[in-house]
Structure 1
Amino acid sequence: MNANRCPACGQPNSCAQAASESEVTHCWCFEVEVQPQTLQQLPPEALNRACLCPRCAGAVHIAASREHDREPD
């Protein structure tokens, strides 16, 4: 399994940890709560092997809703 690819869609996952040679690197996914249903749809061999991409993890939707919440009325 390629740790730089999303196990759900196969697109690049933008994982800072997979791209880094150091042990701990801050990644975008640290700020996102992935829904359990999303993880349940993955094959068991993919769990804890590679990050989802922002779209599959729901980060795009979450970021858009946060931006909307910040907009002044």
Structure 2
Amino acid sequence: MNDSERKVYRIAWNINHTKSRHTTYKELLFKSGRTEKELNEVLQSLVDQKLIWWDKDKTKDVAINKNGPISAFNKFTN
């Protein structure tokens, strides 16, 4: 997981756990400071790693994968 992926994942994780809701695409654009193209690449990479679900066709909301994303995240930080 590179720095961009880690940053976007942490933003989505923090919003999910502090506000108990999914993260919107607009929030990620604003908080990550990435362009739409960069953010789309990062989100697709996180989907490929099965860390998030991304509704890229309709609302573009991002949901954290509840099947162990923290253990996957800790693998990269330890």
Higher helix share: 2
Query: Shared topology, TM-score over 0.5?
Result: no
Larger C-alpha radius of gyration, 1 or 2? 1
Higher strand share: 2
